[in-house]
Amino acid sequence: MFRCEWELGSVFAYRFTTDYSKEKGVYNKYVVFRKVSEDSWYPKHIIPIVQFYQWVGDRIPNLEEIQGLDTLPTYHKEAVEYIRTHENKNYVPKTEFELVATSKKQLPADQLTYLGSILGEDLAKFRGFKIWTGTYPLTWETAKGYHNWRVEKTIIDLMISWGVIIRSLS
């Protein structure tokens, strides 16, 4: 059993390093996410649930720069607009992702920088192994299987969909 050691509220910068990030012009740029809860992953792993901020930059920001920014929805903007137009005009998309890892070795330590902690009432402790959160799973590039759920491709595609501006903060 693996349990991610990150505390609730922990904020990390993640640096893009894949060929896909080169193709999309965000190689070596950073995104920022915050751990807001935990979920279980087969067979008895406990993994973080995070929210990515709608921000991409050339350098690692400080906590003050990201506080108050919107979080990234798990669906593409076109899908959210369709739901709001055709099904539920008040629809609020989910913004939580599970970061799947079954061992500490799968965490991309060389691409992660801890920024500190942002506490808040939105943080939720682990609810148990029998609770299904319905959270969108993402796997690190080092994980086996689940190639369609890779962190970099998914987050880059969503950032493009939502029109997040690639900007330099240096």
Angle, alpha carbons 104-137-33 (nearest 5°):
70
- With respect to residue 2, please indicate whether it lies within any of the assigned structural domains: no
pLDDT value for 146: 60
The number of folded domains in the chain is 1
The answer to whether 54 and 69 are in contact (CB under 8 A) is: yes
pLDDT value for 138: 93
Residue count (the chain):
170
Section 11-32 average pLDDT: 95
| DSSP one-letter code for 61 | P
Nearest to 59 by CA among 15, 115, 94, 124: 15
pLDDT value for 144: 64
Rounded to an integer, what distance in angstroms lies between the CA atom of residue 136 and that of residue 116? Answer: 24
The residue whose two tokens read 């609730």 is: 8
- With respect to residue 135, please indicate whether it lies within any of the assigned structural domains: yes
- Return the higher-pLDDT residue of 44 and 114: 114
Section 43-72 average pLDDT: 94
137 exposure class (CB count in 10 Å sphere: 0-12, 13-18, 19+): middle
Is pLDDT above 80 for 170?
A: no
Q: What is the pLDDT of residues 77-111, one digit of tens each?
A: 999 999 999 999 999 999 999 999 888 888 999 99
By residue range, what is the domain housing residue 100? 10-167
Section 127-147 average pLDDT: 79
